[in-house]
């Protein structure tokens, strides 16, 4: 099972959806509302064009099951 990075995403970061899909995900905003952390993000195609409008949801354990931080590597 892959290692789960549970750090809180930040606005402007790119994340990658976990297999079987591999969409780029741009975090638009993260905010705290009461006891909840809310996230706004959009899915991008391979060229960086939005595939969806902004998605708004509560940041819960499903985020880390479905997304991982995008790690850029040279080479």
What is the per-residue pLDDT across 8-25, written as a single tens digit (0 to 9) for each?
A: 899 999 999 988 888 899
Separation of alpha carbons 16 and 66, rounded Å: 9
The number of folded domains in the chain is 1
pTM for this structure? 0.83
Query: Where in the sequence is the domain holding 39, given as residue range(s)?
Result: 14-69
Of 50, 13, 66, 56, the residue nearest 31 (C-alpha): 56
Separation of alpha carbons 41 and 27, rounded Å: 4
Separation of alpha carbons 27 and 11, rounded Å: 5
* Residue 30 maps to a domain: yes
The band of 1, judged by pLDDT with boundaries at 50, 70 and 90, is very low
Partners of 55 in the β-ladder: 41
């Amino acid at each position: 099972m892959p290692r789960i990075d549970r750090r809180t995403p930040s606005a402007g970061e790119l994340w990658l959806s976990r297999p079987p899909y591999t969409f780029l995900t741009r975090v638009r905003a993260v905010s705290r509302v009461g006891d909840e952390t809310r996230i706004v993000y959009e899915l991008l195609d391979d060229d960086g064009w939005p595939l969806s409008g902004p998605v708004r949801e509560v940041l819960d354990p499903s985020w880390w099951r479905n997304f991982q931080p995008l790690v850029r590597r040279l080479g």
